[in-house]
């Protein structure tokens, strides 16, 4: 399950807000990800129901806005966190500027390891007014698409709630009592379930339905569909399924 994504930002000129909504639009339209956007000036939002959190902050000189720094001091547990900065460094901020901003914004949470960090141009403030708008929206869109792909791949190895677990049967009405709550868990359980369960679910395409509708892994579904449905030896079928699933697991990035 991909889960919900929260984008929060701190801004003085409106640039970080513009970027937040551009990222949200890209994630919604390109990946059908459920996204909410919040301005930190309205207070720290509750992150409990979100699996992915993107935090954006403006930068004045070398100082990231306090609201973003303070927000990142929270405990994000197993959430995937990404960062972006809008700074006075023209359209393509220097890597060293991004590194400095990253160190400062994570000063209150040394254990946090962002899955990605983006930096885009901003605008310069003079006498409290915004001048020299250097926001690079092409880079924002490019980064958003890269981030969306990463979010999906990282979430494909998530553990799903027990009510969404795969339940292994040997036939209709005969539950083995064995369940799987993630792709990794499924691969392990596939090795120990009764052999009758393998053929029963494969013929009904139950494996594909679960990986598509619950896990969200279209690529794995495609690979399972490529296995010959007329395989008569269920142990051979178990082996082919195991190989396809384990290969997919090995391809996916592990949660940082």
Give the whole-angstrom CA distance, residue 233 versus residue 195: 10
Sign of CA dihedral 92, 94, 100, 106: positive
pLDDT at 41: 95
Summarised one tens digit per residue, pLDDT across range 31-76 is 889 999 999 999 999 999 999 999 998 887 667 888 999 999 988 9
Q: Is 109 helix (H, G, I), strand (E, B) or coil?
A: coil
Q: How confident is the model over 158-179, as a mean pLDDT?
A: 96
Show the domains of the chain with their CATH numbers.
5-155 (3.40.50.360), 162-251 (no CATH)
For residue 8, give every residue at least 6 positions away whose Cβ sits within 8 Å of its Cβ, in sequence order, or none. Answer: 20, 37, 38, 39, 40, 45, 53, 54, 55, 56, 68, 71
Strand partners, 129: 126
Given a cut of 70, whether residue 224 has pLDDT beyond it is: yes
Q: Residue 36: name the closest of 8, 10, 14, 57 by CA.
A: 8
Given a cut of 90, whether residue 131 has pLDDT beyond it is: no
Q: How confident is the model over 173-189, as a mean pLDDT?
A: 97
Q: How confident is the model over 218-236, as a mean pLDDT?
A: 89
- 61-70, 148-157, 178-187: lowest mean pLDDT where? 61-70
Q: What is the pTM of this model?
A: 0.76
pLDDT at 89: 56
Give the whole-angstrom CA distance, residue 119 versus residue 117: 7
């Amino acid at each position: 399950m991909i889960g919900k994504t929260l984008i929060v930002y701190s801004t003085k000129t409106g640039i970080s807000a513009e970027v937040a909504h551009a990222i949200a639009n890209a994630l919604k339209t390109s990946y059908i990800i459920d996204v909410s956007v919040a301005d930190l000036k309205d207070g720290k939002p509750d992150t409990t129901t979100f699996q992915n959190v993107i935090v954006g902050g403006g930068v004045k000189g070398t100082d990231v806005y306090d609201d973003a720094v303070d927000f990142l001091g929270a405990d994000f547990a197993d959430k995937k966190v990404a960062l972006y900065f809008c700074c006075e460094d023209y359209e393509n901020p220097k890597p060293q500027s991004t590194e400095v901003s990253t160190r400062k914004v994570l000063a209150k949470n040394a254990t946090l390891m962002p899955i990605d960090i983006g930096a885009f141009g901003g605008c310069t403030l003079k006498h409290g007014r915004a001048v020299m708008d250097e926001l690079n929206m092409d880079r924002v869109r490019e980064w958003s698409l890269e981030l969306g792909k990463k979010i999906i791949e990282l979430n494909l190895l998530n553990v799903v709630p027990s009510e969404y677990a795969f339940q292994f049967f040997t036939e209709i009405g005969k539950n083995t009592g064995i369940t799987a709550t993630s792709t990794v868990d499924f691969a392990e359980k596939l090795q120990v379930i009764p052999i009758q369960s393998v053929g029963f679910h494969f013929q009904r395409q139950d494996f594909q339905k679960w990986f598509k509708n619950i896990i969200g892994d279209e690529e794995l579904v495609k690979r399972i569909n490529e296995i010959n449905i007329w395989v008569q030896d269920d142990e051979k079928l178990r082996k082919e399924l195991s190989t396809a699933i384990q290969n997919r697991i090995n391809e996916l990035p592990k949660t940082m």
